[in-house]
A and B are shown apart, each in its own frame.
Chain A
C-alpha cells in the first residue's frame, strides 16, 4: 500500500511546523482595533508580555528599533537581513504591523506608545503600577508558600480536566464551579444536550490531549470571547492577564489598585486556579504558577507533587507489540489514557494496557485524530523511550494512522438518484447534460441510472421537464 505510506509521511510533515506557529493570542490581538491596542500598550507589563509572545525574529526587530529616536528607512533595516531568509523577515514585519506595533510607511518606526512603555518596562520607572502593587508582609497571616500555591493550582486545574474526561463514563467526580461549567459549555468543549449533565464534545476530547500550556490559553481565549459578550472591557481583561504573567510567584498583591472589571475577574480566575485568595473578600491575592508562566514556555503545571513531576519527565512506555506501560498513579492521566488505550491492569504506580483497533476507533469516533494520539504519546514518552529513534515505534504509528484511514473509507453525500429512463437515448441525453454541469457522482449504464449531487437537481429536473413537455 504505497499510497498509504506516502500519506503517513505527509502527515508527519504536517506536524513539524507547529513550532513556528504564532502564539494563539496574537491572532486575537490582531482583530482588535488600533485604539484598544493603543490603550493596551499604555501598560509596560502588557508590552513586555506581548513582546515575549512574539517570534524570535520579531523580538529582535523590535529591540533594534526600541532605542532609536527617529524612523529608519526600510532599505537600511533590510540590509541586515540574509538574502535567502527574506521571507521570514517580511512575515515578521507583517505580523508586527498587524499588531500595530510597527508603522511601515517607507520608513520603519515603533508605535510611540509601545516604545515608551517597553522602554519603561526595561529600565524601570514610570508611575503606571502595571506590574501589580505588592502587599506589605503581614506577620500574623503569612502568604501561602510556593508549594501550597502549586498544590492549589494543580488541584483546581485537574478538577476541571477530570470533570471533562469522566463526564461520559457515569462517574461523578467533583464538579467545578458554575462559572467554569459555563465557560466549558460556551467554548464548545462540553455540550448540554443530553439531559442535565454536560457531555464532553469532540473538541473537548481534542482539548484533553493538548499540552497544559495550550489548554490554559485555549480557555483564556474563550474567556476573552465571553468577556466581549458580557460587555467587559477587553483591554482591562488583557491588561490583568499580562499583569499576572509578570508577577512573582509566592508574593501577595493588593486588589485595591485594580479596576472594577479586574476585581470581578478575580472570582473567575480563582476558579481556574490562576490566583489564590484566603477568602473571596480578601484584599490580597497571590498568583499561582499557572499565571506567572503564561508568557513562557516552561511547564505551567506545578512540579511539586509526585504525579505531576513524572508527567513533566514523561511516563509512557510504548512497545512495538502495542503494549502501553504508564508509570502514573494520577487518576487524570489514567483517564486520559483510557480515551484511546484499553487498560488491562492497574498497580499502585503503574497502569498497563494496549492500543487496539477498538480502542483507537473509539477515540476516533470521539473526534480525536490519529495525529493527536501520536503527539500525546510523543509528548509524554518516558525518558527510557527517548533512546529510540523514531521515538514511537513505526509499526504502532503507521497502524494508528491506518485505522484512521479505514474509518474514512466511506463518505456520504446527499443527492438524487435518477432512474427508470424510458430509453437508452433518453438516459444518455440527460446524463450528458448532467456531466456538462459536473454534478454526476455515480453512473451505471447497464441499469440506466445515475446519481447527481443535491446542487444540480433543480437544473436536471427542469431539463427533463422541458424535454418531456417538448416531446409531447
Chain B
C-alpha cells in the first residue's frame, strides 16, 4: 500500500456560505470555494496513482458521502481528450452530488439546522476503518494471525465555516480518540466564522495542522502548502502548527464551554458547578466537599448555582453513559488524569488557552 488516503469533510451549510460571500475584506462564495477545492482534490490524486480519496459533505442536519475512490464509477463521464479521466470523474461526481443535496434542501428541509460536521467526521473515520479492514483481509493478514496493518498515512481534512456547536463536544472528543487509535491525522481549516475550540483540539491531539484562514482569496495556496503533504513529507517540509491552542471543554450538564469546571474524580465527567451526585456514574460526593468547592468559586452566587443544580438532572443519560464507557482510560486533555487525593471528591480544573495542560486545585 503505497498511496496515502485523504478524507475531506466539507462544511456546506448554505447560510454560513452566504455570510462568507458577503464578508469583507475577503469575500469567498461557495462556487469559487468548490472550484478551488476540486483543484486541491485533483492535486492529491495527481501526486500518486495509488492515492485514494473520499469526500464527505456536511449539510444542515445531515451528512453525505459525496465521492469515494473506492466505489467503482456508476457512469463513465463523457469523452474528452483534454482532461485526465480520474480528475473528470471526481469533478463531475462531486458537483453533481452537491447540487443534488442543495436542491433537496430547498424542498422544505430545515435550513437553519446546524451543519452535521460531527456526523460527517464520524463517517470519515468509519470509512477509514473499513478501508483498513479491507486492506487487511485482502493481504490475508487477518487469517494468518499477523499484526493488523494500518493504512499508510490516513488523513482527514475538515474544512469548516460554522461556529462550534457546544452540544457536539462529546461526539467530537470521541472522534478524536478513535482517530488517535486508528492513527489518523486530523487537519482542520476554519475558512469563515469564529475560531473553533474543538477543531483546534482535534488537530492538536492527532498531530495535525489547524489554520484559521484570514486571506480567503488565497485558499488554494493555503490548502496546497499546508494540507497536501502527507505526514511522511511533513518531516522534511514543515506545515504550520498552532502556537496556542484553546483547551477548554464543554460541561456535560449544560453543554457550555467552561473556563473553570468540576471533574468527577471517578469517571472524569465535567460539570460547570459542583454537583452532589455525578450524573454519569451516580457517585455521591460528601456535602462538606460541595460546600468547600462552592465557597471557593469566585464569581457565581451560591443561590443560582443551587437552582441550576436542581435543574441539572442528566439531560441525556444514555449518551453520557455511553461516553463514560469510553473515557475512563482516556484523559480529557493532554494534561493527563487529575490526581485523586480522596475518591469522593470533586476536583476542579482550570483551563487556560495559552498554556498546555490542566491546572488543578480544590
Shortest CB-to-CB span from A315 to chain B, Å, is: 13
- Quick check: which of A79-87, A200-208, A224-232, A371-379 contacts chain B, the rest being far away? A79-87
Once the chains bind, are B228 and A124 in contact (CB under 8 Å)? no
Shortest CB-to-CB span from A185 to chain B, Å, is: 33
Once the chains bind, are B232 and A56 in contact (CB under 8 Å)? yes
Once the chains bind, are B49 and A131 in contact (CB under 8 Å)? no
A274-297: CB near B (< 8 Å → 1, else 0) gives: 000000000000000000010111
B38-73: CB near A (< 8 Å → 1, else 0) gives: 110011001111100000000000000000000000
Once the chains bind, are B82 and A123 in contact (CB under 8 Å)? no
Once the chains bind, are B50 and A57 in contact (CB under 8 Å)? no
Q: Is A298 an interface residue (CB 8 A)?
A: yes
Which residues of chain A are within 8 angstroms of B238 by Cβ–Cβ distance?
Answer: 80-82
Once the chains bind, are B49 and A52 in contact (CB under 8 Å)? yes
Q: Is B2 an interface residue (CB 8 A)?
A: yes
B211-234: CB near A (< 8 Å → 1, else 0) gives: 000000000110011001110110
Shortest CB-to-CB span from B49 to chain A, Å, is: 3
Shortest CB-to-CB span from A352 to chain B, Å, is: 22
Q: Is A134 an interface residue (CB 8 A)?
A: yes
| Complex CA–CA separation, A80 to B234 (angstroms) | 10
Once the chains bind, are B46 and A130 in contact (CB under 8 Å)? no
Known: A48-B84, A131-B81, A131-B84. A298 touches B50 (CB 8 A): yes
| Complex CA–CA separation, A66 to B224 (angstroms) | 9
Once the chains bind, are B46 and A48 in contact (CB under 8 Å)? yes
Known: A57-B233, A60-B228, A60-B233. A131 touches B82 (CB 8 A): yes
Q: Is B87 an interface residue (CB 8 A)?
A: yes
Q: Is B79 an interface residue (CB 8 A)?
A: yes
B315-354: CB near A (< 8 Å → 1, else 0) gives: 0000000000000000000000000000000000000000
Q: B4-63: which residues lie under 8 A (CB-CB) from chain A?
A: 38-39, 42-43, 46-50
Once the chains bind, are B237 and A81 in contact (CB under 8 Å)? yes
Once the chains bind, are A124 and B46 in contact (CB under 8 Å)? no
Once the chains bind, are A130 and B82 in contact (CB under 8 Å)? yes
Once the chains bind, are B83 and A125 in contact (CB under 8 Å)? yes
| Complex CA–CA separation, A203 to B285 (angstroms) | 81
Once the chains bind, are B47 and A45 in contact (CB under 8 Å)? no
Q: Is A248 an interface residue (CB 8 A)?
A: yes
A113-133: CB near B (< 8 Å → 1, else 0) gives: 000000011111111111111
Chain A: which residue is nearest B225 at the CB level?
A64
Which residues of chain A are within 8 angstroms of B76 by Cβ–Cβ distance?
Answer: 251
Chain A: which residue is nearest B230 at the CB level?
A56
Chain A: which residue is nearest B49 at the CB level?
A296
Q: Is A416 an interface residue (CB 8 A)?
A: no
Which residues of chain B are within 8 angstroms of A351 by Cβ–Cβ distance?
Answer: none
Which residues of chain B are within 8 angstroms of A85 by Cβ–Cβ distance?
Answer: 235-236
Once the chains bind, are B236 and A129 in contact (CB under 8 Å)? no
| Complex CA–CA separation, A129 to B46 (angstroms) | 18
Once the chains bind, are B88 and A387 in contact (CB under 8 Å)? no
Q: Is A59 an interface residue (CB 8 A)?
A: yes
Q: Is B95 an interface residue (CB 8 A)?
A: no
User: Chain A CB within 10 Å — which of B49, B225, B232, B238 has the most?
Assistant: B49
Once the chains bind, are B82 and A296 in contact (CB under 8 Å)? no
Once the chains bind, are A128 and B82 in contact (CB under 8 Å)? yes
Q: Is B111 an interface residue (CB 8 A)?
A: no
Chain B: which residue is nearest A47 at the CB level?
B46
Shortest CB-to-CB span from A213 to chain B, Å, is: 12
Chain B: which residue is nearest A64 at the CB level?
B225
- Within 8 Å by CB of B236, from A52, A57, A128, A257, lies A57
- Within 8 Å by CB of A67, from B47, B87, B91, B221, lies B221
Which residues of chain A are within 8 angstroms of B46 by Cβ–Cβ distance?
Answer: 48, 51-52, 121-122
Shortest CB-to-CB span from B88 to chain A, Å, is: 6
Once the chains bind, are A82 and B235 in contact (CB under 8 Å)? yes
| Complex CA–CA separation, A133 to B81 (angstroms) | 5
Q: Is B104 an interface residue (CB 8 A)?
A: no
| Complex CA–CA separation, A386 to B144 (angstroms) | 10
User: Chain A CB within 10 Å — which of B139, B233, B235 has the most?
Assistant: B233
Q: Is B85 an interface residue (CB 8 A)?
A: yes
Once the chains bind, are B221 and A68 in contact (CB under 8 Å)? yes
Shortest CB-to-CB span from A209 to chain B, Å, is: 22
Which residues of chain B are within 8 angstroms of A44 by Cβ–Cβ distance?
Answer: 82, 84
Q: Is A34 an interface residue (CB 8 A)?
A: no
Shortest CB-to-CB span from B248 to chain A, Å, is: 31
Q: Is B146 an interface residue (CB 8 A)?
A: yes
The 3 closest A-B pairs by CB, nearest first: A296-B49, A124-B83, A129-B81
9 contacts between A and B (CB under 8 A): A48-B84, A57-B233, A63-B228, A85-B235, A122-B42, A133-B81, A134-B81, A257-B81, A387-B144
15 new A-B pairs (CB below 8 Å) besides A82-B236, A82-B238, A133-B81? A44-B84, A63-B47, A66-B43, A82-B237, A121-B46, A122-B43, A128-B82, A136-B79, A246-B84, A247-B85, A295-B49, A383-B139, A383-B140, A386-B146, A387-B144
Which residues of A line the B interface, CB within 8 A?
Answer: 44-45, 48, 51-52, 56-57, 59-61, 63-64, 66-68, 80-82, 85, 88-89, 120-134, 136, 246-248, 251, 257, 293, 295-298, 313, 383-384, 386-387
